[in-house]
Amino acid sequence: MGNYYSDLSPDFAKRKIKFKDIPAYGYDRSVADEVKAGLSKAGIAEIYECMLMIREFEEMILKLRTGAYECIKEYEYRGPTHLSIGQEATSAGACSVLELSDYITSTHRGHGDSIAKGYFGIMRMGDEELRTRCPESAALSGEELREAVMEDHVFRTISELFGKETGYGKGRGGGMHIFDFRVGHLGANAIVGGGVPIATGAAMTCRIDIDKSKPRRVVCCFAGDGAYANGVVLESLNWASQDQFTNPKMTSIVRGLPIIYCIVNNHFGMTGRAEGEVTGVDSLARRAAGFDDDNMHAEVVNGMDALAVRDALLRARKLLDAGKGPVLLELNTYRYYGHSLSDPRNEYRTREEEEKWKQVDPIFSFRARLLDQKIFKENELDAIEKKVAERNARAARRAVDSADPAPEDVIKYMYADSFCEKVPKAYQVLDPRGPEPTVKRDSEGRLNYRDAIKEGIVEEMKRDARVVVYGEDVADYGGAFKLSKGLLEYFGRGRVFNTPISEACICGTAVGMAMTGYRPVVELMYMDFALMASDQISNQAAKWHYMTGGNVKVPLVIRCSVGGGKGYGGQHSQSLESMFCHIPGTYVAYPSNPYDAKGLIKTAIRDDNPVVFVEGQLLYGIKGVVPQEEYLIPFGEANVVRSGKDLTLVVWGPAVQDAIKAADKLAEEGVSVEIIDPRTLVPFDWTTVVESVKKTGRALVVSQCVDIGSYTGEIVSGIVEKCFDYLDAPVLKIGAKNGIAPQAHSLEKAYLPRVEDIVAAAKSIK
């Protein structure tokens, strides 16, 4: 591919590194100026109405606590109360310049962002789009139709807040996870900063997936000031600013990541303040200087002025359209209430401070300007205010009266039940950049485990252009284990690329890409590093299908290699698959041989659920017959490695090879062992295991996981529950010692389960 990197010759000449200025509060236009520049009276009314909708919704929550919201005063609201009163200008001003196809992510205090994205999305829809969104209003047209759809938007938002089946997420996610994919809202996030890598991944999709007949899609990422001390957020800023996204020698794709990071600085993380307390900078916009020579075009904006926010977003969008993203904006705003309504806020701020901010209230000050500059008359604004209040009241009453989710559906939507059977035509196009990567079979048609996985990935990438591969060192170098060698040369850097050493961001961006239509395959060099990314795997990838009531799929594969048995010590040797078996929403696959490795990786890529795909490094070199023709191995179907009648041995990963050797030794003593390799731990093939144990009456479960808390214990429990009347002896389990993997060879041999341990345990089962 050639050397695309700058010259790294030593240069220690004395110099100073200069930082560019970050502008602050440069907006100085009046409403009248905006009208002269082309902002219509209708556009101004939309911004005002949107801010009112947010305020009315939030004040409804406030009043519900005291029974003061008259139309539903009997309703006892249970749930979070993270109000954003005071921040309306940030949501309305930003979303007023976004297109229906643009994306946003938001925060646990994200009702306002959701209402605003939905509001402006609905305002941009034609009648047919409105009818498609809200079929029950199909008989209406024009403004009557639009108003019905707008009320439905408020209704579904309130319904989700109240945990109703009619909510956007069917009551599964609640207000802290509010979303609406139909207008590009990818979801609010209850994990502080959790939406930032997702937004970054969505921007990666927008960068790659371009329809030249339509405006370029952009992503607006809302996150609070508290998030900008969070590791994965700072990783995301670095990720978005990578030179490889702008270096024309490295990519032919449109340059720059099209994302606007909006720091909604309301001055309180929870009770702590960023400035003057928990950071060492006077402005969070300074963060940008650490990641980009142009400061990510950062500026500080008056977040109490919707028009100032709108102006900043318009200019940011122009930068993105020119391929100069990302952009970071600090929106200086204020929340009038505490972190939640259980927080009285008087312990860490004063009434005098609050009053000063209320004097620049985004709604009241905007209203005054509209009247002072004679843009609107008092009765016109009164009419908008009355319409918003009555609409919210009707929607709230309807939400209270709507159905709760059925208890029997408590885990409905935990997994997507779909599979990529057919690739959309637009993604069936292959654009090879060089020689196709090949793998070599021996004279018996055998491949090693590593090449079997590689062949499966190549086949899926050729089949579906939405499949992208990224991770640390996977491009030019081919990965630490050379599994991806040759992929870059064939598929190009748009589909195969290196990443920073940012495991959380690797997995978080994969969630964002998956939620926006792509099918990323990402690599974590060692499974130990999955702990760095466990929030993105467990709280993001695993949960979004459920929290949205099945409205979004997250088809991604996280490849994790396990290095036990190689003398790499405690931080490079852990077999952690049991941890992810405990997280509902993820699938866990662990092939033990080349044939299964290829069939399972292909299935994993086509499945519409997130898959943790575990690879044993000790297995990379083993060989097996792997067909060249197309085949898949369904998840949840175990492999009976060997049939037997005296003992069932359930085992996975590298331990399967030890189990075969142990079974050979036991056979010499007349013990017939049936070996079952589940291949996928989630979903688990209970049918095969139960049938085997009913036949043999005895069972032993083996893995290389640390014994305590291992998934082996879950399998033992299931066997006892399902096969109790058929058991002739206690069910045993074997795992690694309950300690930390040592480096010394003598200690590691004692640490991991051995063939002799399996034989001894089998003999002990009487």
Regarding whether 701 and 621 lie in a shared domain, the answer is no
Residue 307 placed within a domain: yes
Q: What is the pLDDT of residue 254?
A: 66
67 and 197 housed in the same domain = yes
- Answer yes or no: is pLDDT of 213 > 90: no
Q: For residues 168-189, give the mean pLDDT.
A: 96
| Cα–Cα separations (whole angstroms), residue 83 to 55, 225, 259 | 9, 15, 26
- 173: pLDDT strictly greater than 50: yes
What are the tokens at 363?
A: 């709604």
- Say if residue 3's pLDDT is above 70: no
**Angle of helix 195-208 versus helix 231-240 axis, rounded to 10:** 20
The C-alpha atoms of residue 260 and residue 313 are separated, in whole angstroms, by 8
The domain that contains 712 carries what CATH number? 3.40.50.920
Residue 510: give its domain's CATH number: 3.40.50.970
pLDDT at 250: 73
Whose tokens are 């007949």? That residue is 213
Distance separating alpha carbons of residues 635 and 528, to the nearest angstrom: 24
Q: Three-state SS string across 106-127, please?
A: CCCCCHHHHHHHHHHHHHCCCH
pLDDT digits (tens, 9 = 90+) for 301-345: 999 999 999 999 999 999 999 999 999 999 999 999 999 988 889
Same domain, 452 and 563: yes
Residue 476 lies in a domain: yes
Domain assignment present for residue 269? The answer is yes
Residue 694, classed as helix, strand or coil, is helix
Question: Taking 80 as the threshold, does the pLDDT of residue 97 lie above it?
Answer: yes
Domain match, 396 and 432 both: no
Does 461 reside within a domain? yes
Structural domains of the chain, count: 3
pLDDT tens per residue across span 244-287 = 998 877 766 767 999 999 999 999 989 988 888 999 999 999 99
- DSSP letter, residue 188: -
Q: How far apart are CA 636 and CA 682, in angstroms?
A: 7
Does residue 523 share a domain with residue 433?
yes
Report the Cα 36 to chain-centroid distance in Å: 42
Contact assessment for residue 560 and residue 530, using Cβ atoms and an 8 Å cutoff? yes
Instruction: Give the torsion sign (CA, 641, 647, 650, 654).
Output: negative
User: Of the candidates 571, 597, 625, which is a domain's last residue?
Assistant: 625
pLDDT bucket at 731, cuts 50 / 70 / 90: very high
Cα dihedral 439→445→448→450 (10° resolution): 40
pLDDT band (50, 70, 90) for residue 766: confident
Instruction: Give the mean model confidence (pLDDT) for residues 551-576.
Output: 92
Q: Using a pLDDT cut of 90, give the percent of the chain over it.
A: 91
597-655 pLDDT, tens digit per residue, is 999 999 999 999 999 999 999 999 999 999 999 999 999 999 999 999 999 999 999 99
Q: Among 571, 600, 625, which residue terminates a domain?
A: 625
Residue 685 lies in a domain: yes
Query: Measured on CA atoms in the order 732, 735, 740, 743, is the torsion positive or negative?
Result: positive
Instruction: Name every residue whose Cβ is closer than 8 Å to that of residue 720 and which is 6 or more positions away in sequence.
Output: 727, 731
Rg of the chain (C-alpha set): 29
Closest CA to 593 of 616, 559, 561: 616
Quick check: is 417 in a domain? no
C-alpha neighbours within 13 Å on the C-beta side of residue 253: 25
- Could you tell me the residue range of the domain that residue 198 belongs to? 31-285+302-349+370-403
Does residue 757 share a domain with residue 610?
Answer: no
Residues 479, 391 within the same domain: no
Going by the DSSP 8-state scheme, the letter that residue 331 receives in this structure is E
pLDDT band at 1; cut points 50, 70, 90: very low
Q: What average pLDDT does range 144-164 have in this prediction?
A: 97
Q: Cα–Cα–Cα angle for 701, 706, 709, nearest 5°?
A: 75
8 A C-beta contact, residue 184 and residue 67: no
Please, which residues bridge with residue 736 across strands? 706
In a domain, 704, yes or no: yes
CA 719, 407, 58 angle in degrees (round to 5)? Answer: 130
Say if residue 649 is in the same domain as residue 757: yes
Q: Are residues 102 and 247 in the same domain?
A: yes
Same domain, 589 and 557: yes
Average pLDDT of every residue of the chain: 95
Residue 730 pLDDT:
96
Task: Note whether 549 and 652 are same-domain residues.
Answer: no
Domain contains 20: no
Are 714 and 667 contained in the same domain?
A: yes
- pLDDT tens digits along 734-757: 999 999 998 999 999 999 999 999
Give yes or no for a contact between 681 and 711, defined as CB atoms under 8 angstroms apart.
Answer: yes
Catalytic residue numbers read 503, 572
Token pair in block for residue 691: 């049938």
pLDDT digits (tens, 9 = 90+) for 99-110: 999 999 999 999
Burial class of residue 352, CB neighbours in 10 A (0-12, 13-18, 19+): exposed
- Out of 594, 625, 656, pick the residue that ends a domain: 625
